[in-house]
Amino acid sequence: GQFKLDGIPMAPRGVPQIEVTFDIDANGILKVSAKDKGTGKEQTITISGSSNLEQSEIDRMVREAEIHAAEDKQRKQEIEARNEADSLAYQVERQLKDLGDKIPVHEKGRIEQLLADLQAALKENAPLDRIRTLKEDLQQAAYSLSQNAYQQAGAAGSTGKPADDDVVDAEFEEK
């Protein structure tokens, strides 16, 4: 079965909080509920375990599943790799936006080009090895960018002098 949780207001990726609950009872009945924590909107579905399939049909379906297991595994890996690449592209876009002019121009241009290449490969449904290579290249550049940002923030935060907090030591007595 399927259900749709609609009516969720538009928000940036990662902002909506959806709580999904799966509950299987002793009779094989599956209850699934999804609730948007922001709006309180909830949708549920119950799927009972009964089926009218004969044992021969069940056996045939199991054999077909076993035959296609390798293809399914490959497809799953492709989807996961594409999702990881898409997620990385989103994170790097946000990082570029957040750091803005703190990034050296030559480095920013290089990262923007790597980002554009990865996004184009995803859009064109490029071969998996190409997407993985582009993802790794962008990931290395993003790590370098983050490392430089932290070093700059650390250098700006430490002046080399101990902080003078005007702390006064005193003794007191409770009455």
Is there a single domain that holds both residue 35 and residue 97?
no
CATH number of the structural domain spanning residue 137: 1.20.1270.10
Q: Tell me whether residue 83 is in a domain.
A: yes
Phi, psi values for residue 163, rounded to 5°: -70, 135
Tally of structural domains, the chain: 2
Same domain? 80 vs 147: yes
Q: Please tell me the distance from the alpha carbon of residue 115 to that of residue 88, in angstroms, as a whole number.
A: 9
Residue 55 lies in a domain: no
- Are residue 42 and residue 101 in the same domain, yes or no? no
Amino acid identity at 125: N
Host domain of residue 43? 18-50
Q: Which residue has 């962008």 as its token pair?
A: 138
In a 13 Å sphere around the CA of 83, the CA atoms on its Cβ side amount to: 6
Say if 35 falls within a structural domain: yes
112 close to 142: Cβ distance less than 8 angstroms: no
Q: What is the pLDDT of residues 17-49, one digit of tens each?
A: 888 898 888 777 888 888 888 888 888 888 886
C-beta atoms surrounding 77 within 10 Å: 11
pLDDT in tens, 119-130: 999 999 999 999
